[in-house]
């Protein structure tokens, strides 16, 4: 049975990810359908503290489903980590009569919601918005599919020039704590090696594989490394490869923030829409302090306290597959 919430606020927080706008659109239109007023909060928790809040109508979300970034903008807020900051944020919500929140972001966003709820019991539902796919409680996060496709397109182009010049390319992709982008883009592009934070990098083994390829006259090498790999990223890896193999033309490319931008793929648009719609209905049903996710194509609701950056175990079979296919 629907509860009595009549005004909700929506914000995006932390790193931006393609599909956030599609989620905002779904939240606004679902809420308005059920005659719930929606207030956009710009720049995440920092905007909440500063009162950067405005009422949203269906026209505010017209034609944004295919846009990257977030129309609500995003930020990280040190002030919200303090009691004073959270008190000011609560007072701003009271000024606008906001009774519940929908939060689109990552684990930092949800940790903030937990502390906020302890003090002020404002109902909140979270949506997983991060390209890194580093949250438990969902098979995919908003923006991950787009980020991987962006990386794949770039790596494919890099391989073309690697083949033209018989070069070794080291491509660094995003993933400070999780290697899902590196793992998936590397597999999709046939990388000769993939280095990720979840596995300890044994540099001697990496160099041995390069040496083996050289001795069998394989002149093209593409190595994909996550920025958070324990060895230190593309620059340090290139330095060692050049030192060990001075005769190999070696280059490093850091893809960086291009992975965060761009028009979201259909998968991210559909995922964000499903989650945004479900978030509003969760609030109507009286749920709070949970993140909406999708596991095995079914909606699931995971308490914020159980959602976090957990380095998932990478299957040994998958790692072996990568090595076999790179031969």
CATH number for the domain harbouring residue 173: 3.40.50.460
Mean pLDDT confidence for 158-179:
91
- 154 in a domain, yes or no? yes
The domain that holds 102 is classified in CATH as: 3.40.50.450
Separation between Cα atoms, residue 100 and residue 102, nearest integer Å: 7
3-class secondary-structure state, position 163: helix
For the stretch 92-104, pLDDT in tens is: 999 999 999 999 9
| Per-residue model confidence (pLDDT) at position 93 | 97
Q: Do 87 and 28 share a structural domain?
A: yes
Q: Do 235 and 86 share a structural domain?
A: no
Q: Do 201 and 60 share a structural domain?
A: no
Q: Do 238 and 269 share a structural domain?
A: no
- 323 in a domain, yes or no? no
**Beta pairing class for 298-303 and 290-295:** antiparallel
Q: Could you tell me if residue 174 is left (phi over 0), alpha (psi between -120 and 50 degrees) or otherwise beta?
A: beta
- Considering 107, 132, 193, 268, which one is annotated as catalytic? 132
Q: Do 166 and 90 share a structural domain?
A: no
Q: Do 254 and 117 share a structural domain?
A: no
Q: Do 274 and 245 share a structural domain?
A: no
| Per-residue model confidence (pLDDT) at position 178 | 86
pTM to 2 decimal places: 0.92
For 126, the domain range is 7-143+264-306
- 2 in a domain, yes or no? no
Q: Do 136 and 41 share a structural domain?
A: yes
| Beta partners for residue 292, in sequence order | 301
Question: Quick one: what percent of the chain has pLDDT higher than 90?
Answer: 70
Q: Do 254 and 114 share a structural domain?
A: no
Q: Do 126 and 28 share a structural domain?
A: yes
Separation between Cα atoms, residue 308 and residue 96, nearest integer Å: 31
Q: Do 291 and 153 share a structural domain?
A: no
Picking from 30, 245, 7, 261, the residue whose alpha carbon sits closest to that of residue 127 is: 30
Query: Using 50, 70 and 90 to split pLDDT, how confident is the model at 327?
Result: low
For the stretch 295-318, pLDDT in tens is: 999 999 999 999 876 645 666 777
For the stretch 241-283, pLDDT in tens is: 899 999 888 999 999 999 999 999 999 999 999 999 999 999 9
Answer yes or no: 132 catalytic: yes
For the stretch 111-135, pLDDT in tens is: 999 999 999 999 999 999 999 998 9
């Amino acid at each position: 049975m629907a509860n009595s919430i009549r005004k909700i606020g929506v914000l995006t927080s932390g790193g931006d990810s393609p599909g956030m706008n599609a989620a905002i659109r779904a939240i606004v239109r679902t809420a308005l359908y059920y005659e719930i007023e929606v207030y956009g909060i710009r720049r995440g928790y920092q905007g909440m503290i500063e009162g950067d809040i405005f009422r949203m109508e269906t026209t505010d979300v017209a034609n944004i489903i295919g846009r990257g970034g977030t129309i609500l903008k995003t930020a990280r807020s040190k002030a919200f980590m303090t009691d004073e900051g959270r008190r000011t944020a609560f007072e701003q919500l009271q000024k606008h009569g906001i009774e519940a929140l929908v939060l689109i972001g990552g684990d930092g966003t949800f940790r903030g919601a937990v502390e906020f709820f302890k003090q002020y019991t404002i109902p909140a539902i979270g949506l997983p918005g991060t390209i890194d796919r580093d949250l438990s409680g969902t098979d995919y996060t908003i923006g991950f599919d787009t980020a991987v496709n962006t990386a794949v397109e770039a790596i494919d182009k890099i391989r073309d020039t690697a083949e033209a010049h018989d070069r070794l390319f080291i491509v660094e992709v995003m993933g400070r704590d999780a290697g899902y982008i590196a793992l998936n883009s590397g597999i999709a592009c046939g990388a000769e090696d993939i280095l990720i934070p979840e596995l300890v990098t044994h540099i001697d083994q990496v160099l041995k594989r390069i040496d083996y390829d050289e001795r069998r006259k394989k002149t093209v090498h593409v190595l994909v490394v996550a920025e958070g790999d324990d060895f230190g990223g593309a620059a340090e890896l290139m330095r060692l490869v050049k030192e060990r193999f001075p005769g190999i033309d070696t280059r490093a490319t850091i893809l960086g923030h291009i992975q965060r931008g761009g028009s979201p793929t259909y998968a991210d648009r559909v995922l964000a829409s499903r989650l945004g719609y479900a978030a509003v209905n969760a609030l109507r049903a009286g749920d709070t302090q949970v993140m909406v996710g999708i596991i095995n194509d079914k909606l699931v609701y995971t308490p914020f306290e159980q959602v976090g950056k957990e380095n998932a175990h990478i299957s040994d079979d998958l790692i072996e597959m990568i090595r076999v296919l790179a031969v």
